[in-house]
Structure formats: structure tokens, C-alpha cells
A and B are shown apart, each in its own frame.
Chain A
Amino acid sequence: MVSADTPEGDAWQRLASVPDPEIPVVSIVELGIVRAVARDGAGWRVTLTPTYSGCPAMDMIARDVERVLGTDGNVRVDTALAPAWSTDWIAPEARERLRGFGIAPPAACGAPGAAAVDVAGISPLRRARPACPRCGSAATSLVSQFGSTACKAHYRCDACREPFDYFKPH
């Protein structure tokens, strides 16, 4: 990222004030959705990448980007698919904020139980066992691979009995 003294740095700072519509404790910059910001005449050209291809929040995010940068002139929002978004791009401090919000942050891709499919994935031992974001217990069980949104799985803590969302490694 660029220093805030430059116009680009200032633009990045303004984009960092845009929260994710589904998870407002994390900004779209921290999530890794903003891939590039470049001068385009007097305005800006911003490249976004979707988290999931069916993510219904993308239109709202594009409108928010136009709102925070629109005072400088025209804003063009492009979408880039490659490289495909990964939860590994989520900033470390944002992971802690997710936990505080009640969402267990994603394990690194390639960690045991992370997305790599093998048919023996039906064995519970190979499954991710995220720690409970409320009580910290490691004794948790998967309820469903899909929770309130496609990017989260639904877990239950076997210690404090609270349900919670797990941001799936992606």
C-alpha cells in the first residue's frame, strides 16, 4: 500500500473506510477484495475481485466504492477474476476482529481440513476444528458446511454449547 500523502494512498485510506456489507467489522481492503487503485484522468479506476462468484454484496460494494471516491471525479469499477480471491489475503488484525464479532477466522489454505477435497474428507478427523470464538474451546463440531452465507460454515461449540460461524478457508 502507498503512503497516505499521495493521492493513491489517500484513495486507499478512503476505501479502507468501506465495511463489508455482510461483516461490518472488516473493511473491503482488509478482506482483500480491492486488488488495484489507479488514476483514470481526474477520477479513479478500481479493480475488485469477488469473494464468491455468487456473492450478492458485490453490487453494493461497487456502489460504496463510487461513493467514497466519487468526489474526485468519475470512478470506474472493474472486476478481475484471476487470481481467484483467497481467505489467505485477509489481514491479520481483521482476523482478530472477526473472532470478536463471533466468527471463527479461517485457517490457512492447505491446512488440515481446509478446502482441498479428498474423498476421505468424509472422515470427521480430517475436518477443520476451529476454536470457539466465544469461549476458546477446541471442542467444536460441524453442523453444516454452509451457514448464514456461502463463505461461512455453521459450527457448534461442545463446551459452551453456543452455535457460531466459521469463515471457511477458500
Chain B
Amino acid sequence: MSAAVDATAARATSAPVAVDARLADALLQLADSPLVLAQRLCEWIGKGPVLEEELASTNVGLDLLGQARLWLGYAGEVEARTGAPSRDEDALAFHRDQQEFRNVLLVEQPNGDYAMTLARQFWFDHAHRLLLDALTRSRDERIAAIAAKSVKEVAYHVQRVDDWIVRLGDGTDESHARMQRALDALWPYTGELFVDLPADAGLVADGVLPARAALRARWLAEVDAVLATATLTHPDTAFMHAGGREGRHTEHLGHLLAEMQFLPRAYPDARW
């Protein structure tokens, strides 16, 4: 009881607590997209289209999981500074419900056929690399260090997915049609990658986070160059979904979490 009163008092008197609470949320936004996408990619294990590609997508998933762990670890430390109960990376990954997840809606979309998996990866990887590159200049040293580590890995994700977009787009009639269909279907989920949440404005003003909207022009130039080489057409829908980074998700995330979180929730102290 007295601890709760102390925490409330600290919150009322100390401005940095509010800043830390917001920073913890922003770190979850950085953590949850790679975490959820890693889980999606792992669903391909054992049933990839070819062995080489199964290894590649699994390795991309492993990179993303490693990055998510770094962000989650930091998010837990920052959250603890606000007086909230301490949560480590496992508690954050396995014991949050879907409305507490801060990933973009794009990455929770189902794998579909391989064109759908690659279209999701293509839209995400280019945006992810640009975001991480901007985060290497964050005034928060820890954020800058994690971003500098991650951006090198994501550079290879971009090269790999670009290869596939060209190979399938400029492939057979069937592969071209499927690739185009997948890009069109997932395009309305790309807007959220470049939204600046009003609640994050303070962190952007302080140079902790970059303005995401400013990254969109470069992203468009990159993806359009690849689409042109791949003989694919830029989707032209104007409508964009939003809300994932504020905890409003599509029906797909709950099912993904049920699978990802089942074991640690059913057997809380389970160890390998």
C-alpha cells in the first residue's frame, strides 16, 4: 500500500516519469514489429518453398528476434524507472495481451502464399532500414547503439527481398500476377509505417525519435525503383489502415499471440 502511495507521489511530482512512460511505449513500438514479424517468419519453418529460401527467411527472423530482444530489454528498464512493476524481455513478450502490443498492423498479417510473405517483407524491410538508420542519430545513446547494430543486419534483409520481388515480378505470368496481387493487398497497411503519433511528439522534438513522416519520400523512391525493375505497378489505393502502434489490432494478432505465448503461460517456469 505505502509503495503504491509513494509511486503515485513520485508520479505527481516528477516530470521525467511521464517522459519515461512515453519512452517505454516508444521502445515497445520499436520492439514489437520485429518480434511479431519474426514469429510470422518462423511459421514457415519446415514448409518453405525451397531449402535455401527457408534458411534465408528463418535467418531474417532470427535477426529480427535478436533486435526485438534488445529493444524489449531496454523498454523493461525504462518502464521500471516509472515505478511500474519490473518486466524483463520474456515478461514483455509472453505476458502482454494484444491491446498492449505496439507493432504495425502490416507485420501481423498472415503469411498467405509466398508472394504475400514477400510483399509484407518488402514494404517493411525498406521502411525498417530507413527508420533504424535515422535512429542511429538518436540523442538516446542506447537507442542509437541498438539501431547501429540492427541496421547492418537489415541491409541484407533489403537486398534479399529486392531480389525476390524482381525474380517473381519479372518471372512467369503466374508469379507476376501473384506478386502484384500481394503488393496491392498489403499496400493499405504501409501508411502506418510513416505516421508520427501525437503522443510521441515530445520525444521527436527532443531528438530521441526521428519524424517518421520524413522518411516516406525516400522509402517511396526505393520501393518504386525496385518495382520498376520487377515490371510491377505501384498500388494506387489511397485508404490506409492505422492503429497498431496504439494497440488497435486486426483479428490476426490474437491468434498469433496464442501460439507464441501458449507455452510460457501454461508452464510459467519452463526452461529449455
Contacts and interface: CB of A to CB of B under 8 A. Distances in A.
Interface in A79-108: 81-85
Interface stretch (A31-39, A52-60, A61-69, A70-78): A52-60
A146 B160 CA distance: 8
Given A81-B146, A84-B148, A145 B163 contact: yes
Nearest to B152: A170
A53 B129 contact: no
A125 interface: no
B71 to A, nearest CB: 10
A144 B145 contact: no
Contacts of A52: 62-63, 66, 153
Contacts of A170: 152
Contacts of A145: 56, 156, 159-160, 163
A52 B63 CA distance: 7
Contacts of B70: 53, 81
B interface secondary structure, majority: helix
A53 B162 CA distance: 22
B222 A53 contact: no
B36 to A, nearest CB: 15
A119 B145 contact: no
Nearest to A54: B66
Contacts of B160: 144-146
B149 interface: yes
A143 interface: yes
A144 B65 contact: no
B53 interface: yes
A144 B52 contact: yes
B93 interface: no
B204 interface: no
Contacts of A147: 55
Contacts of B141: 82
Interface stretch (A17-25, A129-137, A148-156): A148-156
Nearest to B223: A119
Contact of A117 (B53, B56, B64, B159): B159
B169 to A, nearest CB: 11
A84 B155 CA distance: 14
Q: Which 9 A-B pairs have the closest CB atoms?
A: A54-B66, A53-B66, A146-B56, A82-B145, A146-B59, A54-B62, A145-B160, A81-B145, A150-B59
15 contacts: A53-B70, A53-B150, A55-B66, A81-B149, A82-B145, A82-B148, A83-B148, A85-B149, A115-B155, A115-B156, A116-B155, A117-B155, A143-B52, A146-B56, A154-B52
